[in-house]
Amino acid sequence: MEHLDSDLLRTFIAVADTGSVTDGAALIYRSQSATSLQIKRLEDVVERPLFERHGRGVVLTEAGKFLLPIARDVTARLDGALRDLSDNPLKGKLRVGIPEDHGRVKLAQIIADFSRSHSKVELDVTCALSPEFPESLDKGRLDIAVYEVSDASEHEEILYEDPTHWVASPYRDFAALDVLPIAVFDQACWWRDVALASVQASGRSYRVVYSSQSVSGIIAAIEAGIAIGLLGQTSIDNTLKRVGSEFGLAPTPASKLVLGCRNVAHEDASEAMKDAIRSAFRV
């Protein structure tokens, strides 16, 4: 009787994570041909294709999407069991900063994925607004953090880029107003700076009529027709309309969600946490 081999599952995860057989092979230090053979072997076992070719890479089929979370769980549990059974299971504390605006779902996924592999490591998680996270890393108050920047440094790993747009409620016409009402974040952060610079560069008269600490707060003001606001593309749905060019506002840069870290004593735990974060924030 056929069975699912954990080695095949690890190869499958690597290809799924990178979206490429070539890149997946590099991730697990195998040749491209050996990786392709392992994927073919796994597809023979489950009796259905797990990937479809897409441009120069591959995407998951429905069967692949079904298998991926199971493969992650199985391999993580095996790794966790090996660590727990070893003479020196990894212990200690890892301090992590996660941006509040990305919600409980991602945080729960990160904690669950990490804890399967390192159940004896204590997590100290800060879920808050992220502008202070880089300073907290520099001063040793956090070990790993996720935050947004306009330009990533060489020490920051980009998780994804989110184009930004000025948006408004489709039910409110601001065209006749001499002074443009805007909603901005109420803390010093690049989002606020970029929004104000965009309006000022346009030469438009404006007034900050609403401020909030959160994306949901900005969206609420926009939907209520109080003001226009700057949002990332992933936060914009069909209840809002883009208005940047309509008002002559200067283009704004993409938001880059990055992963920053500092050197820690528990390198294995740090790498496991980074993998869990990458998985949670992959879009």
What is the tens place of the pLDDT at every residue in 68-87? Answer: 999 988 888 887 777 667 65
Region 186-212 average pLDDT? 90
pLDDT of residue 86: 66
Q: Pick the residue with more confidence: 67 or 269?
A: 67
The predicted structure's pLDDT at residue 265: 57
Domains and CATH numbers, the chain: 6-85 (1.10.10.10), 92-157+257-281 (3.40.190.10), 164-253 (3.40.190.10)
Distance CA 18, CA 37 (A): 17
Question: Per residue in 213-237, pLDDT tens?
Answer: 888 889 999 999 999 999 988 888 8
pLDDT of 1 above 60? no
pLDDT, mean of residues 16-28: 85
What's the pLDDT band for 88 if we cut at 50, 70, 90?
low
Q: What is the 3 state secondary structure string of the chain?
A: CCCCCHHHHHHHHHHHHHCCHHHHHHHCCCCHHHHHHHHHHHHHHHCCCCEEEECCEEEECHHHHHHHHHHHHHHHHHHHHHHHHCCCCCCEEEEEEEEHHHHHHHHHHHHHHHHHHCCCEEEEEEEECCCCHHHHHHCCCCCEEEEEECCCCCCCEEEEEECEEEEECCCCCCCCCCCEEEEEECCCCHHHHHHHHHHHHHCCCEEEEEEECCHHHHHHHHHCCCCEEEEEHHHCCCCCEECCHHHCCCCCCCEEEEEEECCCCCHHHHHHHHHHHHHHHCC
pLDDT of residue 36: 92
The model's pTM: 0.62
- The two tokens of residue 83 are 């660590």
Contact by Cβ (8 Å): 152, 179 = no
What 100-105 contacts at long range (C-beta under 8 Å, 24+ apart), as own/partner pairs, is 100/127, 100/128, 100/129, 100/130, 100/214, 101/129, 101/214, 101/215, 101/216, 102/146, 102/281
Q: Is the pLDDT of residue 241 over 90?
A: yes
CA dist 192 and 101 (Å) reads 15
pLDDT-based confidence at 283, cuts 50/70/90? Answer: low
What is the mean pLDDT of the segment spanning 178-199? 89
The residue ranking higher by pLDDT, 188 or 255, is: 255
Average pLDDT over residues 189-207: 91
What is d(CA 161, CA 148) in angstroms, rounded to the nearest whole number?
9
Residue 102 in this model has a pLDDT that exceeds 90: no
Least-confidence region, from 10-14, 61-65, 112-116:
112-116
Write down how long the chain is.
283
Token pair in block for residue 72: 């992650």
